[in-house]
Amino acid sequence: MRNLIVTAVFGLTMISAAVLAGPGHSHAPVSKEIAAGMAAEKRDQLVTSGKLDKSWSGVAVSRIEQKTFAKGPEWVIAFRNDAVADPAKRTLYLFYALDGHYLASNFSGK
């Protein structure tokens, strides 16, 4: 009986560990193309939530690069929207960890 209980507990532990380590928990670097796609989705979320003007919807990626900041390397994805009147806010920068985790966005690129 004790062996049955130990086996059941071990089995449940392994199943729960597999469930918790499901998709989206990878620490492998994402490609430039995947980072661009993720940034486009985030841009659309910011438009939908009202944090960005609707003119940003559908604006194409203008530049993707890896930059190293104090906390390490990051993907920096830039979108340029010439429909914005303020020149300081024409370029939107989204920052992602190399594994694809969203970090921040701003108009300064820093």
Give the whole-angstrom CA distance, residue 89 versus residue 109.
Answer: 11
CB 44 within 8 Å of CB 57: yes
Q: DSSP class of residue 25?
A: -
Per-residue tokens: 95 = 């920052």
Query: Number of C-alpha atoms within 13 angstroms, CB side, residue 93?
Result: 15
DSSP string, 47-83: HHTTSS-GGGTTPPEEEEEEEEETTEEEEEEEEE-TT
Report pTM.
Answer: 0.73
Tell me the pLDDT of the chain (110 aa) as tens digits.
Answer: 666 564 555 555 555 444 455 555 557 899 999 999 999 999 999 999 999 999 999 899 999 999 999 889 999 999 999 999 999 999 999 999 999 999 999 999 88
